[in-house]
Every structure is written in structure tokens, then in C-alpha cells.
Amino acid sequence: MPNLWIKHARVIDPAAKRDAIGDVFVADGKIVAALSAVAKKRAKKIDARGLVACPGLVDIHVHFREPGQTHKETIGTGSRAAAAGGFTTVVCMPNTAPVADNAGTIQFIKDAAQRDAVIKVLPTGCITVGQKGQTLAPIGSLRRMGVVAITDDGDCVQSNELMRRACEYAKMFDLPLMDHCQDASLTQGAVMNEGAVSTRLGLRGWPHAAEDIIVARNVILSEYTGAHIHLQHISSKFSVGIIRRAKTRGVRITAEATPHHLAFTDEALAGYDPNFKMNPPLRTEADRRALIAGLRDGTLDCISTDHAPHTDYEKDKEFDYAPNGILGLETALAVSLDVLVRQNKFKLPFVVDLMTRRAAAVMRLPAGTLTAGAAADLCLFDPAEKWRYDAKTGFSKSSNSPWHGQTLTGRVKTTIVDGRVVFNAGKIVER
């Protein structure tokens, strides 16, 4: 593997507070401060003039569907979609078939990632056996197998007592506990946000209180047990307020927002397009603005995609019966740049930070930095390039994206993992 010399880029490395035109050097798969004159002559040179060079993006919330649902996505195809989006590290959710509640399934996922992935794919394990919310999974065994967190994502643990015990074990084994915040008793049959739009469309509403109640529960349990609880895909302005107050007290709570909740509101469902159907649902403009404010002031820690592939024949149904979830990896950077930088005047390094260092810090991953000695995981992108996203020809196995056919601004040009170019000029560079 040749050394790399990335030249003339706008280098943004939030961990080092670096934002300047310059070069990045790679030797033996690691970032180095400089190359010798001889090494520079032999290095592979990448002219990044006009591009941003930043740490590889980190997504701590994706669904790659393997094992058991490979008609939607595989670790191989999901990792390629991630690479095309500039991501070099992702954290996979355990709601596979079978679910990842045991050492054998975790080993299967790790083997598949080693064999098929072009980026770093890290597993999580279930909180409960079968993801059924009744009995704790063998959390110690999952920890020894190398899971980076435990979660029943997709199925919120409804029992407060069981969740308390899960927090105690998570703290004991020094694992973050990620929670999909949903009081199921308030969402039976619900398909979109409860409000004026759901009434107009004649669709059963999903109250924000279903999220707020569990967010408050988790704040209480985190404060009570000392466990680190990460709140997934926050969508409600009331939840943002609960989290903000908890953080002022030093509670070990972190939280994420998704690009789709930042970009859209429930008004997008006026055409009954199931590609705008997700869990939690798109909410109001006031909720959307609260999420943006939460990212700005640090209440929300990072951006995650909740990449959730479904086949066309699964999504192409009456709105009530279509599954929740959309693709997110290939469009996340462009959408985040549009909403946060262009529309809301965030500084570009701050948005890069949300998608690199801060995301990695939530899960304590060795990623998100270009400091010397770090793994040479990089994303090179053109923040001004316009391009048309075609989900049908994307790298995911599925195409359920609300951005299909739209022109986006900000395009990933090259993705590098451990010093190896894995995506370049619109194509995956196979080993």
C-alpha cells in the first residue's frame, strides 16, 4: 500500500482545531506529520485543490440487515453505500434475523464485515433476548465479543424495571446503552406525527409524548444508575428541552439527530409517499427548528443517519402498511450541509465535527481525527458541487429515499480507509 500525499486541500480536523489550506500525509495506513523527501517522491499524490479533506465520517446508527434480511441490504452493499457517502466507520444495529443477542450472531456479523465490508463496520448487541423486552440478553458475553454498545433499536424496552437492570449491567461492563425512545402504548396503529397534518390526511397520529415520556424515563435512570444512555433519532422539541436540562445537571445522556428530521416536516407526507414514512415520524416545523438549535448549543451531540433499507415491493404499499425507514448514507453529508451550513449559517468545521469527532466520542471510538498516529480514515468532498441523486443506481441494495431524483449540493469525491482508497470518482475501489 503506497504512502499518500493529499495536496492543497482545505484540511478540516476539529479534533486538532485545524482549518487551513494544506497537505495531509499517510504512511503505513496512519496519518503522519510529514513524509521524507524520498517518501514524497514515491507517494501516491492526490490533488485535492478545491476540496475539503476531513476525517472519515462516522455514523453510529445504521441498519445493514445481515443476517437474515439480505434482500434489503448486506454488510457488503451497506458498506459501499457508506463509503460513497464519505463514511469510514459505522455502528450496526442488532435488529437482524436472528437478532444479535448472542455471541454466535455477533461473530457472524464480525466475520461478514471482515470479509465483505470496504469500511469499518462495528456491531451492537441487544439489550433483551430476542429483542422482546422481557429478559436481559447476556450483556457480559456480548461485551467480550466486542460489541460497542447495547440497544434494542426498533423496539424500545417498555419495562422501567428491566431498563433499570440493563443500565446497571451496561455500567458494570462499561458499555453505552442506546435507546429508541417510544412508549408503544401511545403509538398503536400510528403512522405519522399527530397534529393538524395527520387530521387533514386522515392518518392515525403519533404523539410526540410517546418519545418525550421515554426520554424523561431514560434521563431519570441514567441519573439514578450512572449509566451512559444514548438517545437515538430525537424528533421532538419537548425531548430536546428535557435533554438540555439534564445536561446542565451533568447526567450521562447523549443524543443524535438525523438528516431527515432536520430537513423535512410532516407536511412532506401530503402526497402519501411512503418514502417519507419513518420512526420516529417527521414532526412539525417547530420541532425541526428545535433540533437545529439543539445541535447548535450542544444539547444534541451528533448526526446519525438511521440508514434503514427496504425493498421497493415492501415500500410500495398503502401508506398505513408500508414499513418505516429510509436510506441515508449517500445523501447525509449533502443534506446536512444544505440544512445547517447554507440555510442556518453553521460553520462548516462545526458540521464536520458533528459527523466525525463528536459522533465517535459518543461511542468512544478511535475515529474522527487526522492527528498524527491516527488511522488514515479520510473523506474528500467538494462542498459546492451540485449532483443529482439517483437512489435506483446508488450503492445500497434498496432505493427507499425521499431524496431520489433531487439535485443536492456537496459531493464526496474520495473515501480512504486505513490509508487505502475505497471510493473514488463515483466508483468503489475493490481490493
Residue 235 cell numbers, joined:
424528533
* Separation CA 267–CA 73 (nearest Å): 29
* Separation CA 348–CA 350 (nearest Å): 5
Which residues are tagged catalytic? 306
**Would you tell me how many other CB atoms lie within 10 Å of the CB of residue 51?**
24
Q: Which residue has the cell 461511542?
A: 363
Instruction: Name the burial class of residue 345, with classes exposed (0-12), middle (13-18) and buried (19+) by CB atoms within 10 angstroms of its CB.
Output: exposed
36 contacts: CB under 8 Å, gap ≥ 6: none
The DSSP line for 348-363 is HHHHHHHHTHHHHHHH
Among residues 404, 365, 425, the alpha carbon closest in space to that of 57 is found at 365
Peptide bond before residue 280 is cis, with ω within 30 degrees of 0? yes
* Separation CA 258–CA 327 (nearest Å): 11
Among residues 256, 255, 304, 265, the alpha carbon closest in space to that of 288 is found at 265
Type of residue found at 134: Q
Count of residues in the chain: 431
* Separation CA 5–CA 2 (nearest Å): 10
* Separation CA 32–CA 298 (nearest Å): 31
* Separation CA 137–CA 128 (nearest Å): 4
DSSP reduced 3-state for 154: coil
CA atoms within 13 A on the CB side of 235: 30
* Separation CA 89–CA 365 (nearest Å): 9
* Separation CA 8–CA 18 (nearest Å): 14
The DSSP H or E segment spanning 315 is helix 312-315
* Separation CA 430–CA 43 (nearest Å): 20
